Amino acid sequence: MQSSCGKRVSFLIGGLLVALPVIPIVAAAQTPGINPCPRIYYEEPFNSTRRVPQGCPPNAATLQETGQSPATSAPVPGQIFPGTAPEQAPLPETVQSPSAFVTPINGTVSIELINNTNTNVTYEVLGVTDQRSLVGGSQVTLQGLQVPVNMTFVRPDGGFVTVTPRQIAPGVLEVTLVEAVDVDAGQGALNIQRDGGVFLS
């Protein structure tokens, strides 16, 4: 009787010893892989303001800090880094046609901003100017803006504006702001791409 009891104990202990190492392996297999080089480090504003983690391809901020030229070693658009998915082109039904075109001169444009509303409009060229206020019925010219340009518009009363862009000369875009009649007609942002395409949202 003692021998059968001893066999049960050794079988139980042997089974327990075999099962214990399997538990950490299974737990480790379920842990998702962490991308050591997230794509956000290669997109603005992080590309020029944040260093990449050690072991990742350098971005503009890392190169600037180490004294290298970002123009020669910056990641190539479309380059795929370990653990990142390639960029997917938007579906045809989501592609927006440009609202206007402006021909950049040496990579720069000027914007003549005209406020035809009856109230102040706060505007900002992201990364270039702080928020500025343009009085209703007035205009301002912003010169030498490096493309791409991202600009926002906000009315202090929470109302919306309709933005109408048109090229009036090579390198010069006239942007007229009027009060929007409804929420769906309002826009709050303007984007000028490197090729001169002007998009509103």
Q: For residue 106, is it left (φ>0), alpha (ψ between -120 and 50) or beta?
A: left
Cβ-contact 153, 177 below 8 angstroms: yes
pLDDT digits (tens, 9 = 90+) for 15-38: 555 555 555 555 545 445 567 777
Q: Output the average pLDDT for the chain.
A: 77
Nearest to 191 by CA among 154, 133, 159, 152: 152
**8 A C-beta contact, residue 56 and residue 41:** yes
Tell me the residue ranges of DSSP E strands in the chain.
100-101, 108-115, 121-125, 132-134, 139-146, 149-154, 161-169, 172-179, 189-192, 197-200
Q: Is the pTM of this model over 0.75?
A: no
Structural domains in the chain, CATH included, are: 98-200 (2.60.40)
Q: Residue 44 pLDDT > 90, yes or no?
A: no
Q: If you ran DSSP here, which 8-state letter would residue 4 be given?
A: H
Say how far apart CA 107 and CA 71 lie, in whole Å.
Answer: 16
The two three-digit tokens of residue 186, written as one number: 């309002």
